[in-house]
């Protein structure tokens, strides 16, 4: 049951992040927003990491601390910083299109690194999921000329792929609470350095910014990222990243429900294709009956 519920909850929380980010960013500088969110989430997790050996796991965390820091910088800090900078020049649709390649590339690399093997139907699922995202997002021809934005978008996807594979390779043995704390703290440190070096801080405290900040802190940094690390701990990297296929479509639906944005029929068709692709990726291999 957890294998079904956890991915669904993760996708819902992650999709809501795009809505919360769009709502909050007009009132705060973007990387400052990230750094503050990671900092608060880390502070909230810190006391829980010392509850018990089973929950905390500091003994093991100290052994792989450098690996946890690298994974945290890649998954939390570098991925979202590059993604936010990409959105300065390109649309969210184009960003989603670039991100749709993450599961396919991750699955291919996980085969070379971990020996993960996928059946032909699963590879078809990866391709169908990518096609579904392309239908949801569309291709903005103006964005294709925004070289800097495209490069930042590709960089964000590359950082998430690298961080995912790195965590799966070196950090699976860590306790989830401790791993998430270390990675959030590493992401916060990275983002604060970026803020000090490149960003002019501005903050306008509004009710919208407050609810956006708390949703991103509790729902995404603590909830969704905790589920993401759990799924990486118990499953293959390719299957876990395939869950991202349905986030663009679900984000569009949430934007229609919450922000009164338009919802085109092709978005629903693309969302349906992505759902089928995700189902194929997660489908179990049928039992082989051998003759006696």
Q: What is the mean pLDDT of the chain?
A: 83
Percent of the chain surpassing pLDDT 70 = 89
**pLDDT exceeds 50 at position 290:** no
Least confident of 84-98, 115-129, 187-201: 84-98
**What are the φ and ψ backbone dihedral angles of 53, each rounded to 5 degrees?**
-60, -35
Least confident of 72-76, 94-98, 203-207, 252-256: 94-98
**pLDDT exceeds 70 at position 56:** no
pLDDT tens by residue, 98-130 = 777 888 888 888 888 888 888 889 889 889 988
d(CA 43, CA 31): 18
**pLDDT exceeds 50 at position 153:** yes
What are the boundaries of each domain within the chain? 2-282
d(CA 283, CA 277): 10
pLDDT tens by residue, 211-229 = 999 999 999 999 998 888 8
Task: Report the b/e string of 173-198 with b at 16+ CB within 10 A.
Answer: ebbbbbbbbbbbbbbbbbbbebbeee
Compute the half-sphere exposure of residue 40: CA atoms within 13 Å on the CB side of its CA. 14
Summarize the confidence of residues 132-144 as an average pLDDT.
68
User: Cβ–Cβ contacts within 10 Å for residue 8, how many?
Assistant: 12
pLDDT value of residue 167: 92
| Predicted model pTM | 0.84
Summarize the confidence of residues 47-75 as an average pLDDT.
81
């Amino acid at each position: 049951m957890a294998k079904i519920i956890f991915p669904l909850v993760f996708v819902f929380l992650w999709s809501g992040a795009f809505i919360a980010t769009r709502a909050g960013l007009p009132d705060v500088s973007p990387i400052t927003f990230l750094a503050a969110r990671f900092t608060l989430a880390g502070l909230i997790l810190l006391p829980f990491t010392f509850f018990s050996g089973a929950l905390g796991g500091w003994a093991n965390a100290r052994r792989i601390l450098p690996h946890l820091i690298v994974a945290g910088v890649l998954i939390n800090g570098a991925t979202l910083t590059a993604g936010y900078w990409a959105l300065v020049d390109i649309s969210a649709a184009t960003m989603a299109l670039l991100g749709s390649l993450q599961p396919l590339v991750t699955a291919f690399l996980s085969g070379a690194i971990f020996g993960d093997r996928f059946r032909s139907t699963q590879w078809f699922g990866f391709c169908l999921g990518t096609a579904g995202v392309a239908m949801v997002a569309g291709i903005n021809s103006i964005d294709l000329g925004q070289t800097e934005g495209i490069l930042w978008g590709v960089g964000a996807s590359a950082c998430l792929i690298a961080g995912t594979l790195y965590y799966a390779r070196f950090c699976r043995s860590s306790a989830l609470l401790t791993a998430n704390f270390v990675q959030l703290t590493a992401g916060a440190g990275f983002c604060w350095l970026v803020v000090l070096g490149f960003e002019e801080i501005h903050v306008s405290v509004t009710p919208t910014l407050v609810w956006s900040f708390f949703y991103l802190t509790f729902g995404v940094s603590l909830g969704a990222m905790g589920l993401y690390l759990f799924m990486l701990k118990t499953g293959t990297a390719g299957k876990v990243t395939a869950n991202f296929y349905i986030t663009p479509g679900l984000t569009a639906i949430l934007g229609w429900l919450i922000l009164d944005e338009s919802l085109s029929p092709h978005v629903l068709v693309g969302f349906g294709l992505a759902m089928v692709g995700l189902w194929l990726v997660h489908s179990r291999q049928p039992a082989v009956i051998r003759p006696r």
